[in-house]
Each structure stands twice: as structure tokens, then as C-alpha cells.
Amino acid sequence: MQYSVKKVSLLLVFLFSCSTPAWTASAATFLLSKDTEAFGALQSHVIESDEQTLVDVAFENNLGYNEIEAANPGIDPWYPKKETKITLPTFWLLPDTEECFANLPGPYHTIQVGSFSEPVGAAKVYQNFIGEIDPQDQAYLRVEKHNQYYTVRSGLFSDIEEAKKYRDKIKKIFPDGILFSTHIKMEKIIYPANLPPLPVLVERPEPSCIIVNLAELRLYRITWKKEGLSLDTFPVGIGKYGTETIRGRFSIMEKLTDPVWFIPPSLQHKFPEHKKTVPPGPDNPLGKYALRLSTPDYLIHGTNKPLGIGRRVSHGCIRMNPEDIKELHSMTNIDEEVVILYQPVKIGEKDGNPYIEVHEDYLKTENSPQRAISLLQKHDLLDKADLSLMFQALKEKGGIPVSLTNK
């Protein structure tokens, strides 16, 4: 998916108490159309006094603690010193949106069973596919040319669940098949000469989806519009070690105002004055607003401890700043999709050039170079990328999109 960005509004007004900053208003809305996946712009700030911390600046600019710390290595977050110039990481790449927009009018869902730098490799896999797979499962089998790569792909589905069933069906023959979303471009297909009529796609009017990328501790609320994607983004706090936030695809089951917190048995000893529940009010860690997910024990909610935003400190729920959850609560709908994923490496395009955004892989689950190269290939950007710049970005983990060209 490729988008361009027009910044619609960016309003950040904050009120500080003498100790902990508190949000009074925040909004960051972007409109993305089809020529880039990057949005926002880097900014800078000069520390105004020895009393101002990076945490104060993060509050002022709707950033999480993790973001402003990663963007300013070597600077003490609690005592950055007066007149120190710091970077504000208000520039992002889109996270993976495939699961989020599974049922939108395009793209289709397909299986890639091989990718080769020479056509002979693609031709061999193509012939193996015909020899091993039942004829009824060969519909939309094709070879596509993307930059210098020849890819063998099969299947076109408007429903991602059907695509998953198809992937599982051919898995014994092609265990490395990759499921992803694509827009069919006939000029990319080099064989066969003609495909069957494309499947009919069912349209939905301006659907929305929430994506939470645990690796960057940031939430994106995306609405599909005719002119592109409308995007709002907010920093979050997530589960700590031992009570990590779950991953998967969910939906909003309930919208709560002034929620009562039912204290888990494992935590009741920490709140003896409240017994088993905490009523609405300043002592309630859920804040004033909450969204209950379709796995009922998990909420996206406010907080009475905003210093936890941009940190892995919760017992599994997703925390937001008070004004941010108020805004999200007002714009979301019951049954709206929520995708919680873990993507420490993101790849995107801006002005035709590849960018990479790297966050700490705190779960140690990814081979970062291999993953980055795979994503560049998937976005048809590998031939444009300077891999030395990629390796440098993977080493620094600055959490900011970095250009992979010297242009």
C-alpha cells in the first residue's frame, strides 16, 4: 500500500501541574493518499530551563517516553540541561495494515510461493505448482515481475479467511508460502497471458480500524475514505514482562464511561482499602473512558498515571493519556476492528524513496536484517535501498523513519 500525506491538523495544548504533566487537549490528524506511507515531520526543541525534562517535552508533543528517549541518545531524559537541542520524533511510517483492511474494496489477498532474480527459477516453481496442486486450486496462478524479481503467486481472495484456508491447503507442497495483500497490476503479469475474471469485491462505506504496534508503543486509528486514509495516532503504555499485552485481531465490544475497576485477585493485596473494586474517580487506574475488546479481560483505557505512557508497565491492558482516550472513545464504533501486532521494523515509501523505521525488538523474536530485506522486497523497494544505510538504522534503533537512499 502506498500513500502521500497531507497534514490536516496538529493541535497540541497541554497544562502542567507542579509535578506530573497532564493533557488538556491533543489531536493529530493526517490524510494519506496514494504515493507515500510516511507522514508527519521531524521537529526540534530547545530545552528552556534546567527544570524542564524530556518527559515534559514528550507530554507537550503527544509523544511517549520511549519515543523521545530513543530519538535523543546520550541525553539524560530527567536532566537534559538548559539550551540543549533535542529531536521530536513526530515522523512515522504506517504499520502493517493488511489485517486491518482485510475486507475492504481491494487489495486482494494472495499467496506468494517463490521469488527469484532469474526467470528460470520462477518458471521451475510454476511448473512444480501445476504438477503438484489440483487443477481447481490453480486459479490465478501467475508469474509477476517486480523490479528485478520474478515472483510466483497464486490465488486472489476478497476474504482474508478464505485466503488463509487456501494457504493452509497448499502448505504441504509450498511450506514457505507468504500471505499478503496486493492490488493486481496486469502490466506486472508476464505469464499467463490472461487471467480469469477477477473476484468481485464487496465495498463498505468508510470503515475504520485501530492498529496498536506494541514494538513502538503507539496506536493508529485509520479510516478508509475515497480520497485516501484518514489517520489519528496516539502514544500508549502496554503490558510489562510477565503480563505482556496480547496480540491478535479483535473488535470493540463495549464503550465505557466512568468504568469501575474490578481488581484482579492477584492485585487485591495492593488495594486493601478498595476490597474488590475501585469506583470511578481519581484513584481509578482506568481513567474516565475505556474500550472493552472482544477478549473481555482487555481494555484500551485512560490512566491516572500518565508517566506510564510510552512504557511497558501495565498488567496487559493498553493505557492512553486522558485526553487521548477521550478523543478515541468519541470516534470509535462498536464492532470496530482492533489489530494488536508487534512490528519493530517498518518499511515505507516517501517521494518514491524507501524508508526504514526501527524500534527496540524487546521480545527478541526477529532477525532484523532478514526481516528488513523481506519487507523491502515485499514493497518493491529493495533495488532502491542502500543496504549500508539499512544496517546503520538497524543498529541505532532510533524509532524515526530513515531514508535508505543518499538523495
* Beta carbons within 8 Å of 196's beta carbon, 6+ residues apart: 139, 140
Burial of 215 (0-12, 13-18, 19+ CB in 10 A): buried
Question: DSSP letters along 127-158, please?
Answer: HHHHHHS-GGG-TT-EEEEETTEEEEEEEEES
Integer Cα distance of 133 and 127 in angstroms: 10
Using CA atoms of 328, 67, 354, 114 in order, give the dihedral in degrees to the nearest 10: -80
Name the amino acid, one letter, at 214.
Answer: L
What SS3 class is residue 113? strand
CA atoms within 13 A on the CB side of 230: 13
Integer Cα distance of 307 and 319 in angstroms: 11
Strands (E) in 73-200, as ranges, are: 85-88, 91-93, 108-116, 142-146, 149-157, 178-182, 189-191
* Beta carbons within 8 Å of 363's beta carbon, 6+ residues apart: 342
Integer Cα distance of 303 and 321 in angstroms: 6
Q: Is 301 a catalytic residue?
A: yes
Of 45, 100, 109, 301, catalytic: 301
CB-based contact 322:328 (threshold 8 Å): no
Q: What angle do CA 347, 216, 290 make, to 5 degrees?
A: 125
Q: Is 146 a catalytic residue?
A: no
Over the range 141-170, which residues count as b (16 or more CB within 10 Å of their CB) and which as e?
bbbbebeebbbbbbbbbbebeebeebbeeb
User: DSSP code of 173?
Assistant: T
* Beta carbons within 8 Å of 273's beta carbon, 6+ residues apart: none
Copy the grid coordinates of residue 386: 542502500
Of 109, 209, 317, 379, catalytic: 317
Whole-number Cα distances in Å, 85 to 45, 60, 164, 262, 387: 6, 15, 49, 44, 30
Q: Which residues are catalytic?
A: 301, 317
